[in-house]
């Protein structure tokens, strides 16, 4: 099972489209917020793909700010992170993930990629595909869940 994780596309339709098209073998695409309009447009171009989206601080409307999904036998907690003070650390994010008995916690908002393993939870921030911070290149994440349920997480640089 392959999951592509993107975030913070900030109205950059072409960047999001290129990431989705570079990952046509993905079983699921998770967008962690700040990109609702381009996600709708890209999802319309790929009706065969499954997309999950959570609301970021620049998104509007009645969209969930957090979601728990089950993929490949693992529960995944998804949030943009702006309501969890992720600029100050991932403690609140981990608390929410553990509360929901998740094995994977995904967040965004900082525009800085990160992978970690804390309290038996795989943690990933895919960075930003359009507005990375620091000296980072634009990035997104890939999670692979094998048949034996092992998890691999990678950060991928994009142009």
Average pLDDT (69-81) is 97
Average pLDDT (84-112) is 97
DSSP symbols for the chain: -EEEEE---TT-HHHHHHHHHHTTT-SEEEE-SS-HHHHHHHHHH-TTS-EEE---TT--SS--SEEEEEETTEEEEEE-SGGGTGGG-SHHHHHHHHHTT-SEEE--SSS--EEEEETTEEEEE---SS---TTPPPEEEEEEE-TT--EEEEEEE--
| 12 has a pLDDT exceeding 90 | yes
* pTM of the predicted model as reported, rounded to 2 decimal places: 0.97
Q: What is the pLDDT of residue 122?
A: 98
pLDDT band, very low/low/confident/very high, at 34 (cuts 50, 70, 90): very high
Average pLDDT, the chain: 97
Q: What is the pLDDT of residue 159?
A: 80
Q: What is the pLDDT of residue 148?
A: 94
| 7 has a pLDDT exceeding 90 | yes
């Amino acid at each position: 099972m392959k999951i592509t994780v993107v975030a913070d596309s900030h109205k950059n339709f072409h960047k999001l489209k290129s990431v989705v098209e570079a990952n046509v073998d993905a079983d699921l695409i998770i967008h962690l917020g700040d990109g609702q309009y381009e996600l709708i447009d890209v999802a319309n171009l790929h009706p065969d793909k499954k997309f999950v989206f959570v609301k970021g601080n620049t998104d509007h409307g009645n969209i969930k700010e957090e979601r728990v999904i089950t993929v490949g036998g693992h529960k995944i907690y998804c949030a943009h992170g702006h309501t969890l003070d992720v600029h100050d650390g991932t403690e609140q994010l981990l608390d929410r993930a553990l509360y929901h008995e998740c094995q994977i916690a995904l967040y965004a908002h900082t525009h800085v990629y990160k992978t970690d393993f804390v309290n038996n939870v795989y943690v990933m921030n895919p960075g930003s595909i359009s507005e990375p911070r620091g000296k980072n290149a634009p990035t997104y994440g890939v999670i692979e869940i094998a048949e034996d349920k092992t998890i691999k997480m990678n950060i991928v640089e994009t142009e």
